[in-house]
Structure 1
């Protein structure tokens, strides 16, 4: 599309097809034009008509008008293949920078089946699905997550060339989907605040690298223990469910601090992201300090997700 016309096109689409988590395709939302095959077909019909006029051949006239009527009927069937189709946005789990974000789209048919329905974004290859009559199917679309924050894929293209391929019926839908992208984890030294580091120096231990806590051995599994700590080798030897036991080196909760780090913002956030994941896996209570935001010491999945969300959205518009 010509660049100067794109903003006006987007504004017109926003009025005609506003963003919604569920959209039903109807005559206001479906556009239809000849495909490349259809354009070639029309050109051939024009040449056939000129030949029929030139030679005044009744058989040529009949064949030309017969094929033209097939083209007109194909317009109706191509439109009907999309009309009535319902698209709903599915859940989209958070990912890290460098991974593929997965967007789920649910296709539903209230009456007739819909054949060879293709959907996707311009940057990726379209996926084709068949939706049974009064049935449901689900499609998973992937986009690369290149930067942290909210990933909003924009309008989704839905099209169909069924049944003859001479026409393409299509629509641009905004299912209001978004995925939260966390910073890419970066291995490095434990970024503790000055207060926490001084306290550890007095106790004679200063954590570096992986030394945030001390491996104590194995203990019997108790409800609530992290499943990531399960010792599967011991279980396979018939020793029952055992978990790895870690003890904190320090006598106080760890405090991850953005200000004590050096380097650019993205590198600092990546290092903090790595240690949020590591300490959460070990069930070590920790606090996180960012400029203008402090998350108090806690542990568990909710605390981990809150910290990762804060890192992902740091410095981003709401």
Structure 2
């Protein structure tokens, strides 16, 4: 008998799996995404209102409401005043929890905590975790929001509460699986306040983005990067320590320039923030080109170039970059130039 029950169970499971495979799940999800894009368009700031808050009874709520209706029917049929009052009380609690559940989300303000630019200011490498900061503000000075759950999906929900007139900022994370501009998934904000009879939710899209650099793959650095210029013993040692030889001139300050190179005297004379430029006898511009890694697929080449940019920038080399599709980054140095090179690698698209 046990074997027969087991076989029937397996047949039921197989039939259910067959039905799931036949259902147009992907088509339904695409239609739902298009509908959400029209109903809740992306924006850096969003206040929850009746149009974008959805609410349905939970299973507990369905059982509670169904029981209240049964009590009301029996009370009317039997003309029992006590049962009628009890059924009325149950229905009143059922409807009151509907209003309180909706009100717990209504008026809540969500906004991206960081200014969204293009290219995005936040940057990570492929394979790392991308963080997105979200600010939530209460609807007013007398309203609080309790028992809220916020996340990108059911496996990453965070519980929070917001006091009357208060605001809070939370950080949600997602995996950066592809290089380029990563857009944060739609948020899932839900609540079952106060007693779990109703579930209200919303799917805001705060248009948050992060720039994903190619993941660096270890490779051989250009020969010129490890070449040392012959000098007198004392001069060569001093040059290795300081990384500079002769004063070349002044240029405008760029983000990432060392404080030791800032021309404070020029600033005192009212010439603005300037940076001293030095040139070494052995310094040459290193040109990173696509042709250096012929035979590899494009993503691997980008990963190799990313590795070289990081290591050559750490050694303070002057670097230029040339990619197919007429992508070129002029030679330069410094932290800002390094990110300019990595940005070009992240946003590169193969020519059509």
Q: TM-score range by the shorter chain?
A: 0.7 to 0.9
Structure-2 residue corresponding to 1:277: 310
1:20 and 2:48 correspond? no
1:128-187 CA distance string (max 9 Å, x none): 221121111001010011111111123211111111111111111111111111111111
* Structure 2: distance between partners of 1:59 and 1:144: 58
Deviation at 1:36, TM superposition (A): 2.5
Q: Equivalent residue for 1:131?
A: 162
Distance 2:147 2:334 in 1: 45
Q: Secondary structure at the match of 1:63?
A: helix
CA distance in 2, matches of 1:34, 1:171: 15
What residue number does 2:337 align with?
Answer: 303
Q: State the alpha-carbon separation in 1 of the partners of residues 350 and 72 from structure 2.
A: 62
Q: Kindly report the root-mean-square deviation, in angstroms, between the aligned alpha carbons of the 2 structures.
A: 3.1
Q: Residue 293 of structure 2 aligns to a residue in which SS?
A: coil
Residue in structure 2 matched with residue 160 of structure 1 by the alignment: 191
Gaps of 5+ in 2: 1-23, 115-120, 231-237, 244-256, 262-278
8 Å Cα contact 2:289/2:322 also seen in 1: yes
Cα separation, partners in 2 of 1:108 and 1:280, compared to 1, 3 Å: same
Do 1:191 and 1:260's aligned partners in 2 also have CA atoms closer than 8 Å?
Answer: no
1:52 shift after superposition: 4.3
Task: Give the match's secondary structure for 1:102.
Answer: strand
Q: Indicate the structure (1 or 2) with the bigger Cα radius of gyration.
A: 2
Aligned equivalent of 1:78 = 101
2:91 corresponds to 1:68: yes
Which residue of structure 2 aligns with residue 260 of structure 1?
292
Question: Aligned with 2:320: secondary structure?
Answer: strand
Q: For the Cα contact (< 8 Å) 1:95–1:101, is it kept in 2?
A: yes
Structure 1 residue 118 displacement after superposition: 1.4
**Counterpart Cα distance in 2 of 1:77 and 1:150:** 39
Instruction: Tell me how far apart the structure 1 counterparts of residues 282 and 258 of structure 2 sit (CA, whole Å).
Output: 26
C-alpha contact 1:186 1:273 (8 A) present in aligned 2: yes
Question: Unpaired segments of 5 or more residues in structure 1?
Answer: 205-213, 227-246
Q: How many residues align?
A: 280
**Structure 2 contact 283–317 (Cα < 8 Å) conserved:** no
Determine the C-alpha separation between the residues in 1 that align with 2:222 and 2:298: 14
Q: Say whether the 8 Å CA contact 1:101–1:142 is kept in structure 2.
A: yes
Structure 1 partner of 2:3: none
Equivalent residue in structure 2 for 1:95, among 101, 109, 124: 124
SS across alignment from 2:184: coil
CA displacement 1:5-26 (0-9 Å, x = unmatched):
3333333322222211000111
Match of 2:213 among 166, 176, 182: 182
Shift of 1:42: 2.4
- Counterparts in 2 of 1:123 and 1:270: CA distance versus 1, 3 Å: farther
Runs ≥4 in structure 1, deviation > 6 angstroms?
Answer: none
